[in-house]
């Protein structure tokens, strides 16, 4: 098993509360029966969630994503994913905690 796949497996075992909350919704194919994968490797990156059929990536960001280094890294990562044909949606942890219905609606819009 390569390092990226090993890291993805470890991330699946140690999901944040917000990732678990969104995963409980996505895994039930609650949105038009689209299948999502969690902690899925794409190139050298591991995305939080992906619907490969629609080429939609969903990222959930905590406060650590506000540092200069992480902003640069996230931008490089998003640019790579977009060159691979993916649309990247980013939500903050408090979006998941305080506005989960709004998050669902935004994801749904991108699956139509």
DSSP alpha helix (H) spans, 48-111: 68-83, 93-98, 100-111
Task: Provide the CATH number for the domain around residue 43.
Answer: 3.40.960.10
Q: List CB contacts of 41: < 8 A, sequence separation 6 or more.
A: 4, 5, 8, 47
The residue behind tokens 């944040």 is 16
Alpha-carbon Rg for the chain, nearest whole angstrom, is 13
Tell me the per-residue pLDDT of 13-52, one tens digit each, with 9 for 90 and over.
668 899 999 998 888 776 778 999 999 999 999 999 999 9
Number of neighbouring beta carbons within 10 Å of residue 109: 9
SS3 18: helix
Whole-number Å distance between alpha carbons of 53 and 44: 20
Percentage of the chain beyond pLDDT 90 is 61
Considering its fold, how many domains does the chain have in total?
1
- Single pTM value for the model: 0.84
Binned at pLDDT 50, 70 and 90, residue 8 comes out as: low
The whole domain housing 68 covers 3-111
């Amino acid at each position: 098993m390569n390092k990226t796949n090993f890291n993805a497996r470890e991330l699946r075992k140690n999901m944040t509360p917000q990732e678990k909350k969104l995963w409980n919704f996505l895994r039930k194919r609650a949105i038009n029966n689209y299948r999502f994968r969690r902690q899925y490797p794409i190139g050298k990156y591991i995305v939080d969630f992906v619907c490969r059929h629609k080429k939609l990536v969903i990222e959930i960001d905590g406060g650590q994503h506000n540092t200069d280094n992480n902003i640069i890294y996230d931008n490089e990562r998003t640019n790579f994913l977009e060159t691979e044909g993916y649309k990247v949606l980013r939500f903050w942890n408090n979006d998941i905690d305080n506005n989960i219905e709004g998050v669902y609606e935004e994801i749904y819009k991108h699956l139509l």
